[in-house]
A and B are shown apart, each in its own frame.
Chain A
Amino acid sequence: EAGVAQSPRYKIIEKRQSVAFWCNPISGHATLYWYQQILGQGPKLLIQFQNNGVVDDSQLPKDRFSAERLKGVDSTLKIQPAKLEDSAVYLCASSPTGGWTDTQYFGPGTRLTVL
């Protein structure tokens, strides 16, 4: 079974530029998550999708971050404009149902450096 795919793996941009990340979850998984993991910290949820609907985006900085999951499969996360403090690893995860006993499967992440 293929795992969660993410691209690109690394991205370096200057502040105020825009950037987009792509995620392809495990086939058949209804729930998709985007996390931000700052160096030395645990992952922090940015947004959770159930199929193509948003379940929780309370921690997404909506003035600069946006995300979509078209057709309930792939997802993109965009930052526009980027700030220095956005430097982090952006992890995508998926799970079958999103229920509390589910298992989340994480992708390798995209490491973003904002200069």
Chain B
Amino acid sequence: QKEVEQDPGPLSVPEGAIVSLNCTYSNSAFQYFMWYRQYSRKGPELLMYTYSSGNKEDGRFTAQVDKSSKYISLFIRDSQPSDSATYLCASLNYGGSQGNLIFGKGTKLSVKP
């Protein structure tokens, strides 16, 4: 079993829709959770991060971690065509090196005008 599982999609939604992207993880030691956005032919860029459980909001984006169910979510409100990209979740245990970051496979999102 891979440590971070993510449905690769693709996911296609109309502009303005609420998007829900999800991952599950298996390692209980993971404490640091990140979402990266990767546009086509580009490297990933950090979108949001959260520590332990709870929610974190940044504009139209909300990251949520439920440690009891080992579930990571990213919600995008009022989705825009510019949000079309692959979204990668990633997890890291407390005190670990950034090099120990475990990525999911990524979910490809397409927002149609």
Seen from chain A, the residues whose Cβ lies within 8 Å of a Cβ on chain B are 4, 31, 33, 40-45, 48, 55-56, 91, 93, 95, 98-109, 111
Contact = CB atoms under 8 A, between A and B. Distances in A.
Contacts of A101: 32
Centre residue among B41, B45, B95, B101 by max chain A CB count within 10 A: B101
Contact of B43 (A41, A93, A100, A102): A93
B106 A42 contact: yes
A100 B105 contact: no
A53 to B, nearest CB: 13
B42 interface: yes
Contacts, number: 68
Centre residue among B41, B45, B99, B103 by max chain A CB count within 10 A: B99
Interface string B96-109: 11111101111000
B35 to A, nearest CB: 12
B32 A40 contact: no
A42 B46 contact: no
A104 B105 CA distance: 18
A103 B105 contact: no
Interface stretch (B11-19, B64-72, B73-81, B86-94): B86-94
A56 B97 contact: yes
Contacts of A45: 99-101
Given A42-B88, A42-B104, A99 B98 contact: yes
Interface string B17-56: 0000000000000001000000001111110000000000
A-B interface, 3 closest residue pairs, ranked by CB to CB distance from nearest = A42-B103, A106-B43, A48-B99
